[in-house]
Amino acid sequence: MVNVNNNETNAKSGLEKEIHTDFQKEMSYGSYLHLDKILSSQHRLSDHHDEMLFIIIHQASELWMKLILHEINAAIQCIRRNDLEPSFKMLSRVSRIQQQLIQSWSVLSTLTPAEYMEFRDKLGHSSGFQSYQNRLIEFALGNKNAHTLLVYQHQSDLYKMLTDALHEPSIYDAAIQALAVRGLPIDQDALDRDWSQNYQPNASVEEAWLTVYRDVDQYWNLYELAEKLVDIGSQQQLWRFNHMSTVERIIGHKQGTGGSSGVTYLKRALDQHFFPELWSLRTKL
């Protein structure tokens, strides 16, 4: 094969001469991102045009969820080390990613009920309910439910990972520990509890957050942490609501492919709030 000088080739093509065009021995954009694998992973089970939309929306969402977990787990470690400031950038990024996930429902809502029915039966019992990354996010935010692990028991490694995550402190548990580290009085049963159980509101935690909000200058980092958590909690609720609304728009009140009650189940999920004292304090300020 004849190697043509890069500058000569670019000059003939009208490209700037510094633009590199020979990637026989160097890494390209596509190889760095493994685009051959990513873009060849959309396998329709029907001939329907809109199944491609359905697949890509869910695959892209899983990639965004992977980044959320990357950021939120790092933020938890920072908070547990009492190094709050680096966590703020991570948590801001999480809330921006959540906006992308929320917006994805508006794209999926262009799928009409008649169109979805053309390929829905091809999905079998696969369902977004089985998304283990979404489950890990819910665990990291404090929504713990051991019963949800049953759908993963056929994959031992995945089941173990989720079980381990169930028993880890959530980001709110880490934030409550940060309150105690900074000298605010917190009941011991809020600091030393079974992390696999849903957090229950605690009067000492509410009072500690009230102290932070009443003296922002003294407790600026804790105040900033609290507002980052409120952002994330709000966005997660918006994601849930848009999910429910999109499902209702496309399938009405049919049973979900995974066996859930569909819209009814998703509406119940909206009643599960994150970081309760960060909301209740607003009434008492």
Binding residue numbers for substrate: 54-58, 116, 120, 257
* CA diameter of the chain: 77
Cβ atoms within 10 Å, residue 239: 20
Q: Which two tokens mark 242?
A: 């848009």
Question: Which segments are annotated as binding site?
Answer: 54-58, 116, 120, 243, 257
Cβ atoms within 10 Å, residue 12: 9
The amino acid sitting at 61 is S
Query: Is the Cα torsion angle 200, 130, 148, 166 positive or negative in sign?
Result: negative
Question: Which segments are annotated as binding site for heme?
Answer: 243
**Token pair 């605010």: residue:** 184
Query: What span, in angstroms and rounded, lies between the C-alpha atoms of 219 and 211?
Result: 8
End-to-end, the C-alpha distance of the chain in Å comes to 75
Q: What angle do CA 22, 24, 27 make, to 5 degrees?
A: 85
Asked if 119 and 47 count as a contact pair (C-beta separation under 8 A), the reply is no
Alpha helices in 192-256 (DSSP H): 203-214, 220-251
